[in-house]
Amino acid sequence: MRFFLGALSALFLSGMAAAQPVNTGHLTAELLSSAQGIAPGQTIHVALRQQIQKGWHTYWRNAGDSGEATKLAWTLPPGWSASDFTWPAPHRLPVGPLVNYGFEGEVILPLQVTAPAGVTPGSTVTLKGKADFLVCADICIPESANLELKLPVTDGPAPADPTWGPRIARVLADAPKPAGLTAAFQTAGGALKLAVTGPPLKGADMAGAYFFPYSGTAIDHAKPQAIERGPEGLTLAIAPGYDFRSATPPKELAGVLVVGGKGYELTAAAGPLLTGAAGLGPPPARAGPALGAGANLGLLAAAGFAVLGGLILNLMPCVFPILAMKAASLAGHGGAHGDARRQGLAFGAGVLVTFLVLAGVLIALRAAGSAAGWGFQLQDPPIVAALALLMLLVALNLSGVFEVGTSLQGAGSGLAARGGLAGSFFTGALAVVVAAPCTAPFMGPALGWALTQPPAAALVVFAALGLGFAAPFVAVAFAPGFVNRLPRPGPWMDGFKKLLAFPMYGAVAWLVWVLTVQIGSDAVPRILGAGVVLALAAWLFGIAQRRNAAGGKPVALTATATALAVAAVLGGAVWPAYATPEAAPQAAELDDEVYAPERLAALQAEGRPVLVNYTAAWCVSCQVNDRVALSTKDVSEALKRNNAVYLKADWTKRDAAIAAELARFGRAGVPLYLVYGANGGEPAILPSILTAGAVVKALDAAGRPG
């Protein structure tokens, strides 16, 4: 009987602690309890759960460049209290030139609720709260939910909720928390360096490490955070934000460091960086003088580490596509020792020369004050686009669409040999360029030391890195036993070469992805369109080669293929420049007025064109459009030229008048852009994703007399 009553009581408590989910439009929200009740004076964990519609997201405590954090305003009985959220580590959410921090899918935000000591056991308490969310995809919509959670008051601590107790406990266990990390930061030369050491970072996977600050203006969220690994931690090179340009820069920098998928809370103090956060020196117990990566290395040790790093670099994933070209090159010389050796030396020369050229450019950039590092060439979208098109050409060549380096008419052996050596040299150069995103073990300390030394010492280290990288292929080419085991050239080579084209196609896909990460999805149609045109050019060039081999003179066909190839490269990588923040239209401050229906009516009565921008500080698309389209010199001049007025309808805080206007135009949220003509009538509605040209065109049309 006692067991039956206990089971019935547990079932009752579980039902009492349940809450009704609320659908706000783009997410479902509910309050959950970790326990089936609460005792007088007890503190339990309650959580706000969000199930967010696919393709939409909400925001972390620091939303990043734009957005607004989720809020929960309680209406509690007298004597009850609730804490702030315990926030999980966020995800980066790139949107055009901005980066925000938030969550997708399911989000559980735990907090603590404390009952007063005088609450009566056997009663039921209803906890009420109003949750406000900013839910964003292409547009941002403020949504809210009035939530309730009923809890029975028990004589003693109630049992854990069997469903949500473990889930909430797991979220709390995974949430960022202090872990004995020591951190310090410095600013120099326009860069912010954050050095962190501590036991949790020993041996951790540093790839993708990122610092999420609590302050929204501490850093430039859209800029990458370069990582320098050390035996006891790491150093991040971060672009500083507004806080560090003010008259009183911060003395502390607090936030969450995510390393290896786990988050750690930390507070860094301004001061000397930490030895052991980067480089190889043994870390002292306290902060020491600032040291760069590999600060304790000498030239001989740095060169040795560079050779080892270059050897290991051959195993990195980013170099794999080039292995296909190496394999195809060796297979073409099955058993021919002299040819294989010449190919190996040519490949090694291409590697070494390219490493030294990259080193010279990198040293020059750093001497000019740039914060460039290894892989700097792939930070430039036009170069990434050009490299993607080059990889596509290599893949099409391996697929047999056209030929390079050999003559279909059977040219002399000397010409073929020269073409083959040039191809091997090119393969070595391309291998170095593609290897740039990867950093092998031992490379970081060696390059870190090199970039703090005079140019001559730095070039020695980069040359050692090139020697290590080229050594395996050169050694294989000089190994008679290996060359003797290669199959003799024959028909099998054609199929083998075409098979090896597919890693190159994979490299093209990867580079297109890199391009979209850098500048957004607008890059996709442009680079894919250029790729289609380039493939057509390669196909036409292959036809021309075959006709030429048959005795024809396909001059027009060759000229057409060449023109298409040039157009593809110009359109895909050279002109016009990709719309990165650095290449964006020239910025300009626009004179704006606060929107009011009365002001709009008065301007229309005067016969003046009006641009109305329905926006909000938390709206991602709004901030992107403002940065890349509205706040530009072209738009500013168009406003003046047409005697137009710019009204800004700010919906950062709820405004019934703005909401009514949005509804009138069939919109549930911002952004919305309207251009009213000088002759009255209904306004022109501009696209949600703006360009400066579209705004200028609409303003010029609005300013024309009827």
Neighbour count for residue 662 (Cβ, 10 Å)? 19
Q: Give the tokens for residue 248.
A: 């009183």
Q: Where in the chain is the domain with CATH 2.60.40.1250?
A: 2-174
574: DSSP letter: I
CA of 57: how far to CAs of 26, 49, 100, 371, 522, in Å?
Answer: 9, 13, 10, 33, 21
Q: Nearest 5 degrees, angle CA 301-CA 303-CA 307?
A: 115
Give the separation between CA 306 and CA 444, rounded to whole angstroms.
9
User: Which residues sit opposite 266 in a β-bridge?
Assistant: 255
- Fold exhibited by the domain 2-174: Immunoglobulin-like (2.60.40)
First to last CA, the chain: 90
Residue 308's pLDDT is: 87
What is the secondary structure of 329-344 as a DSSP string? HHHTTTT-HHHHHHHH
Each residue's pLDDT tens digit, 280-325: 333 333 333 333 334 456 788 888 888 887 887 777 655 656 655 5
CA of 437: how far to CAs of 68, 126, 239, 317, 515, in Å?
Answer: 34, 55, 20, 10, 13
CATH, domain 178-270, list 1.10.8, 2.60.120, 2.40.50, 2.60.40: 2.60.40
- Please give the helix or strand (H or E) that residue 133 lies within, else none: strand 124-136
Q: Give the tokens for residue 508.
A: 């093209």
Domain 592-703: CATH superfamily, name plus number: Glutaredoxin (3.40.30.10)
Task: Name which of 268, 458, 501 is nearest 367 in CA terms.
Answer: 458
Mean pLDDT estimate for the chain: 81
Residue 539's pLDDT is: 93
CA of 62: how far to CAs of 212, 489, 625, in Å?
Answer: 8, 62, 21
Give the separation between CA 632 and CA 25, rounded to whole angstroms.
35
CA torsion sign for 696, 697, 700, 701 is negative
Strands 91-95 and 81-82: unpaired
In this structure, what are the phi and psi dihedrals at residue 8, rounded to the nearest 5 degrees? -65, -40
Amino acid identity of residue 224, one-letter, is: P
* Residue 319 neighbours by CB under 8 Å, 6+ apart: 313, 431, 434, 435, 438
Q: Give the tokens for residue 380.
A: 């430039």
Residue with structure tokens 């209406």? 75
Residue with structure tokens 């750690």? 264
Residues 688, 671 contacting (CB under 8 angstroms): yes
Each residue's pLDDT tens digit, 586-613: 666 788 999 999 999 899 989 999 999 9
Give the separation between CA 210 and CA 89, rounded to whole angstroms.
11
Amino acid identity of residue 86, one-letter, is: T
Give the separation between CA 56 and CA 71, rounded to whole angstroms.
17
Residue 444's pLDDT is: 58
SS3 assignment, position 31: strand
What is the secondary structure of 39-68 as a DSSP string? -TT-EEEEEEEEEEPTT-BEEEEEEETS--
Give the separation between CA 338 and CA 696, rounded to whole angstroms.
65
Residues 690, 629 contacting (CB under 8 angstroms): yes
Residues 669, 645 contacting (CB under 8 angstroms): no
Which parts of the chain have pLDDT scores under 70?
A: 1-19, 189, 274-297, 316-338, 340, 365-379, 404-420, 434-445, 447-448, 451-452, 480-493, 517-521, 575-588, 618, 620, 668, 706
Q: Give the tokens for residue 620.
A: 């991602």
Q: How far is CA 636 from the centre of its chain?
A: 31
Residue 219's pLDDT is: 94
Give the separation between CA 302 and CA 443, rounded to whole angstroms.
9
Q: Where in the chain is the domain with CATH 3.40.30.10?
A: 592-703
Residue 534's pLDDT is: 92
Residue 518's pLDDT is: 63
Q: Give the tokens for residue 286.
A: 């306290």
Residues 272, 184 contacting (CB under 8 angstroms): yes
Task: Name which of 698, 670, 669 is nearest 610 in CA terms.
Answer: 698
Each residue's pLDDT tens digit, 263-284: 999 999 988 876 666 643 333 3
Q: How far is CA 138 from the centre of its chain?
A: 18
Residue with structure tokens 């872990």? 179
Q: How far is CA 566 from the centre of its chain?
A: 31
* Residue 189 neighbours by CB under 8 Å, 6+ apart: 369, 371
Q: Give the tokens for residue 399.
A: 């697929």
* Residue 476 neighbours by CB under 8 Å, 6+ apart: 330, 344, 482
CA of 172: how far to CAs of 43, 578, 629, 650, in Å?
Answer: 15, 43, 42, 37
Give the separation between CA 31 and CA 47, rounded to whole angstroms.
6
Residue 523's pLDDT is: 79
Give the separation between CA 423 and CA 349, rounded to whole angstroms.
12
Give the separation between CA 565 and CA 507, rounded to whole angstroms.
20
Give the separation between CA 577 and CA 19, rounded to whole angstroms.
54
Task: Name which of 519, 499, 520, 524 is nearest 388 in CA terms.
Answer: 524
Characterize 140-166 residue by residue with b for buried, 16 or more Cβ atoms within 10 angstroms of its Cβ, and e for exposed. Answer: bbbbbbebebbbbbbeeebebbeebbe
